[in-house]
Structure 1
């Protein structure tokens, strides 16, 4: 059986179109399947659409969160409730083409791969600034972390049960799925496709949201920022020693006091700024530790049409 996990946040317009298209593709494949629709605290009629689809289609299982927990929590809830031998993650806006599913399943059934992941080979329709920052992010995180993330990688992938179980074993609260997919390893085939425009509705990601998501990914999978803070400290200490020697030698040999308070203020501001920057980096890691130690649930399901669904995890 194939389980399709679909995180949804304000997707009342796109969800019926997605259900129609993915159902057509899955029925043509001739495999048994389930559609796990996860309502991530939507403020529109997404939940009503899910209820209607569940009444009309026995393959539809919906989980509705008590509030908005974020896409990562929605994906994790889907993994916890997926019952298929193969599990896929897809967006409801049809930017992840359901037509790729037969090819993905065919590749997995060869036995050569454990996961078939998708990557966009073009960013048509995306703002140039966002595309540039996205490419720089992928280059940076691959250099400073153990996560293997391909440029243009999407969350859309089809996995064997063994890989899903490995992902579930990583129960960390601060989740960055793109990094988790790469960290667990397994044999992955990257399937390229052209960028597809959203079929309906508005994107939920703005530039600031994507920037914070990128920072979370770097902190979750790399200790490099802490190393940078340490090297800043070592560098500034070395520069301070040189400055002290210069001032002492100048005073002893030439009897020339150091003139000007402006340069002194500039140095104080520079050092103070670097100290605050380094403290900010350390603070981000401490905040992540703080959230982990609370052991709060990743999600809380307020409503579902599956009686044995995992409601809190």
Structure 2
């Protein structure tokens, strides 16, 4: 099963080389067929130039520049419309996600034939390194609200790092979120629409270079919108968007 890794990148000239080299070395070590698809989100620094150089040493790397509209959600969606694999993971350009965790996600999907594999930094075996205290408080509060509102047990909905089968991703369309709220839209839709998933502990490490693109004060209402949309779909869509299962064959009378 070919794995695609979609990476949105905006002004990541310093972080992207380490991220892509580590990702390629790890996936190659385990013999995982893959592509690394980077969406250059119209970066204003040397990100495109750095990617051009990296393509000469990483044979599985492809990148395209998103001409616009721009923003995290748009950049991820750009990649999700163009990846070539049988399954796809969203992975951050700042090396906050661990490629070894992606291998665990991939193997878990194969072992259980799950439609999705979600990570949790807060379950036993998960960890965070240098997580800003205010951001951690807001993260835990937001995930608590999501769990209570949606009636789910999963406790790390807001993290982008997740793995989906191609047919699952197709079943989550159309995408609504242009910003970081896409990280909530994808897993909540998957749950509401009846796709199977497993949860695997994973780690998160704060970025070494540049600055986070997430502006917390701008995202509250956008997260709330997506949460309310998924809640309405859960209770009022009458199953119109649920995963389609194959009908059992009917024996033919002779």
Same structural fold, with TM-score higher than 0.5 when normalized by the shorter chain? yes
> Residues 36 and 26 from structure 1, CA distance in 2 versus in 1: closer, same or farther, beyond 3 angstroms?
same
Alignment root-mean-square deviation, CA: 2.4
| TM-score, normalised with respect to structure 2 | 0.77
User: Paired residue for 1:211?
Assistant: 217
Structure 1 segments (4+ residues) deviating >4 Å: 145-149
Cα shift at 1:15? 0.8
Question: Could you say what secondary structure the match of 1:34 adopts?
Answer: strand
Q: Is the 8 A contact 1:88 1:156 kept in 2?
A: yes
Show CA shifts across 1:52-81 (max 9, x none): 222333311111122561111111111100
Equivalent of residue 159 in structure 1, options 157, 160, 164: 164
| TM-score, normalised with respect to structure 1 | 0.64
1:195 aligns with 2:204: yes
- Structure with the higher fraction of residues in helix conformation: 1
Question: Could you say what secondary structure the match of 1:74 adopts?
Answer: helix
Show CA shifts across 1:8-43 (max 9, x none): 011101111111100111111212211101011211
Cα shift at 1:203? 2.1
Q: Is the 8 A contact 1:146 1:222 kept in 2?
A: no
1:10-159 equivalences under 5 Å are 10-67=11-68, 69-121=70-122, 122-145=127-150, 150-151=155-156, 153-159=158-164
**Structure 1 runs not aligned, ≥5 long:** 224-313
User: Paired residue for 1:294?
Assistant: none
Cα shift at 1:171? 3.7
User: Paired residue for 1:220?
Assistant: 226
**Structure 2 runs not aligned, ≥5 long:** 230-254
Show CA shifts across 1:74-124 (max 9, x none): 111111001101211100111110011221111111134221111222554
How many equivalent residue pairs?
Answer: 220
> Residues 194 and 26 from structure 1, CA distance in 2 versus in 1: closer, same or farther, beyond 3 angstroms?
closer
Q: Is the 8 A contact 2:109 2:116 kept in 1?
A: yes
Q: Is the 8 A contact 2:121 2:128 kept in 1?
A: yes
Q: Is the 8 A contact 1:149 1:182 kept in 2?
A: no
